Structure formats: C-alpha cells, structure tokens
Structure 1
Amino acid sequence: MVDDARLAEYAKAYAENGYVLVKGLLGKDEAKAYREECHALIERLNRDVDPTWGSARELTMGSPTQLRHCHDVQFYAGAFARLIVDPRFTDVAAAVMGTPNVQLHHTKMFIKPPEKGSPFPMHQDYPFFPHAKHSVGAAIFHFDDAPVEKGCVRVVPGSHTKGPLPHREEGGWHLPFSEWPLEESVPCEAEAGDVLFFSYLLVHGSGVNRTSEARTTLLVQFRDPTDPPTKNVHTESLGQGMMLRGIDPTARGSTTA
C-alpha cells in the first residue's frame, strides 16, 4: 500500500507536470515475472502484426523498425487481471485523478524488440478517445529497464495545461514534427518495477530501442466513471467500463427479470 503523504506528492506532481514516475511500485522479482508473462503471451499468439504507426517511419527515415503488442491482456492471462486491480496501482490512479473511483478504459502490452523497436511520434492520447472532463490517465508499467537507448517514454512537462491540440491524422494521430521534435522532449528513464502515470493531454512519445535487449511495458488507460466519451473514435476494448477501484455512481440496475 502507498501511504497518504506519498499519494499527495504524486497527485501534486501530476497536476503540475501532467505526469509522475512512481519508483519501485512493483518489486524487481514481480517485474521479471510479468516480463516473462508478456513474452510468453506474444509467443502463444504468434501474430504477424506490426502496429508501428506510419508516421513513425518518418522519424526513422524509412529504416525498418518493429513493435509487438496485444490489447486486452487481462483476458489472456490471470496475472494481468490481478495486476490492474492491485491497490498499489489503483490507489495512485485514484489520487492523480482526484476521485475514489477508477474505471478501466483499456490495456495494451508493448514489446520493442532489440535493435529495431519502433518509436512513437509526439502526441496526446486525447484524439484517440476524447472525454468530456479530461479525466483519462495512463499508467505504463515497466517490466525491464527503460533507458534512453531503449526508447523510453519522453514527455513535455506541463503540456497538459494547453488542452487538446490539433493533430495530424495521417499515419496515426501525431503532432507536427517541426513544432514538437522528439529530441527536445524530456526522457523518462525508468527501471523495472517503475510505473509512469500521465494525463491523456500530456504531449509524449518515445524513441527507437537500439539496444540488444527488448523493452517490455504494459499500458493501462483509466478514467473517472462519471466522465463520458464525447466521440466513439476508439474501438471498444474488452472489459471497458470494468471498475478497478470504488464504484460506478452512474450505473443503473437491470430492467430484465
């Protein structure tokens, strides 16, 4: 469990900067076990699908890169179902949103392969699933170390205060390269077990993994259940609406017998 004083610190940093890196939320052994779960899942799925954005090819000047991923991981392995309701995670999510109630939007696991793991251009998550109150946040669980050389997440502190920004849609929603260059953003280097929480209005991206080891992460997107989406522009994920902490005050009873 995370104590109240620490939760208050996280909430303050999140409000001011749009993100907070929580060090050691998971133990090293836990992170290693989740890393093994991720790689075993990818091998079981055996999918030849690469979700690299078309716009990312521009960042790499056409050099071939690759991503491996899986949506809705809690439906593939019980370990992930347990992780997304772990109070160490949900208490921080509630604190940064300022609500006791934490609702799932979606989960997504990413593996950036060694030497060619794909980057993400600078962007906000807002265009992918806009919500009325902008409560939506993300948590990136790091299951192995993520230094700059591995293509760690990069951010623009305070950019969440600018509100929704105009994005280019071609090749995945992203901001103009000339105005938001990846190399001028702040790297959020992390160690295995660290979790990065950030607002969906925060401008962020990531670089290429150029090391000899994979970079393995789990993204959990969450929201206040009283914050409705304004557009249905994101395919509804399995489990969307599941309560991870607290209650859904908007829920109504079934009318069927």
Structure 2
Amino acid sequence: MLAQSQLDFYQENGYLLVEGMFTSEEAARFRQEAHDLIARLQAVTNVEATWGSARKVAMAPTSLLHCHNVQFQSALFTRLLVDERLTEAAAQIIGSPNVQLHHNKLFIKPPEKGSPFPMHQDYPFFPHTRHTMIAAIIHFDDAPEEKGCVRVVPGSHKLGPIEHEREGGWHLPLEQYPLEAAVACPARAGDVLFFSYLTIHGSGVNVSHEPRTTLLVQMRDPTDPPTELVHLSRGQGMMLRGVDPSAGTATPPGQG
C-alpha cells in the first residue's frame, strides 16, 4: 500500500499524508452519511465538542460537532473502518500485521466558526507502553488552511511524551507552541493523514463558508497495553486487520 519512501518520511517526520486513498465519489458518500448522522443525533442529544482551551486560540465563540463510535451508527462507516486500503497502510506504519481499534470520532467544523484544537500530543489522553498508537484522519471534504486543516510539528514524535497543561483539555503552552508556527497539512476529499500519537499537532478555526468533515480513527498494535485505564469506549478492542494474539490469554489492560 505504501512505498518505502513514504514509510521513511513517516519515520522521520511522525506524519504522512496519503493522497487519494479514497475516491472523491466515496468521500462524498461518507460526507453525506456524516452530516445525516449528526443531524439525527442533534435532535436527541448534545453533539457539541469544543475544548475549553479552544476559546483561547479562537478568541471568539466557536462550535465543533462530533460523534464517537460511528460503527454503531452506520454500516457504511463499519465498512470504512475495515477497508483494506486504510488498514494495510496502518499496519505498515504501526509495524504489525494486526491492527486494533482504540476509538474513533466524527468531527464537523461548521462554517465560519469551526472550533480549533490547540497544539498537543494525543499521548496524555491514552498513554501506551510501546507507543504504537497512531491516528488516521480521513477527509470527507476538502480541508484547505482556511477550513482549519491539521497542523503538525515534524519530527516532534522523537521527543517522547511532553508535559501538557490540563485546563480546558490537554494542550501544550499556547505561547510556546502557537498554531501558526506549525506546518499546515491541507488535504483533499479522500486523503488520509496518518500521525503518531506523540506527534505534536493541532488545527485552526474554520473561517471558510463550508464545513470541514473528517473521521479520526485511533489504532494500535493489540499487544501494546495501555499504561492507564483511561479513555475507554464501547468499541475499543475491535480488530480492524489480522488477529488479537492475546485472545485466549489474560485480558490485556483496558480491554476487560
């Protein structure tokens, strides 16, 4: 799925944008499914997910709509999670034939006020022993800079875990890690951005006239146990590729 040059880029920089993993037609179907799902949920529950710390970045009221565990809401998304294009690339990056779901989140950044994410590592939210955890952000529509695309600090995964501030959601000091200093990763519909959970990243405000729609999938080697029983979810432990070698033995931490 991935060329050696792409894997080398990931190892050096801690992220990789895979262009055109899904077709524009597929992305359009995913986008429609995502917006239909959020519309259904809005009628019965709160889908707002803006971090408290995001207000310090945006300096104005913003909004972010979300849904966890999309595989329990839509068969189309279930098929997406186990799509071989996604899981084979993930296996190459993780370095294991077995890929296990940790969690997933659907995000819609509304037009003109879509909430930002301050710079952070994902590690503090769900630390693991061998740091095999990766994220894949699947873009359902175009994500140029004005839509608040993801920004990364290349090579920051080599620094290991960094101390974060907790107020308003785990994030790095805003003055030391400003969003605008990070490298922007604009993407097209169907592109997938992979990065290590140690890679420093964030995203800006969507100031465009269109929403930005993405699915975040967090995956790991099933033999890499968490160091803390945190960020547990209903779908955690679902095998996306291969097998769970620990099956039939003692239950790994966080999966019981």
Aligned equivalent of 1:16, options 12, 19, 27: 12
Aligned equivalent of 1:58, options 52, 56, 59: 56
Q: Deviations over 1:17-66 (max 9, x none)?
A: 000000000000000000000000001111334211111101112x1100
- TM-score norm. by structure 1 comes to 0.94
The residue correspondences of 1:35-184 to structure 2 (distance < 5 A) are 35-46=31-42, 47-61=45-59, 63-184=60-181
Matched residue type, 2:40? R
How far residue 253 of structure 1 moved from its aligned partner, in angstroms, is 6.5
2:241 is aligned to: 245
Matched residue type, 1:31? A
Matched residue type, 2:32? E
Indicate conservation of the 8 Å contact 1:7/1:95, yes or no.
no
Partner Cα separation in structure 1 for residue 122 and residue 75 of structure 2: 27
Partner Cα separation in structure 1 for residue 32 and residue 199 of structure 2: 30
How far residue 167 of structure 1 moved from its aligned partner, in angstroms, is 0.1
SS at match of 1:29: helix
Greater Cα offset, 41-50 or 25-34: 41-50
The residue correspondences of 1:185-224 to structure 2 (distance < 5 A) are 185-224=182-221
Structure 2 stretches of 5 or more lacking a match? Answer: 251-256
SS at match of 1:54: coil
Matched residue type, 2:116? P
Query: CA RMSD of the aligned region, Å?
Result: 1.1
Indicate conservation of the 8 Å contact 2:38/2:47, yes or no.
no
Matched residue type, 1:186? V
Structure 1 stretches of 5 or more lacking a match? Answer: none
Q: Percent identity?
A: 64
2:253 is aligned to: none
Q: Which runs of 4+ in 1 moved over 3 A?
A: none
Q: Deviations over 1:216-242 (max 9, x none)?
A: 0000000000000001121x2122111
Matched residue type, 1:51? A
Number of positions where the alignment pairs a residue of Structure 1 with one of Structure 2? 248
Indicate conservation of the 8 Å contact 1:103/1:224, yes or no.
yes
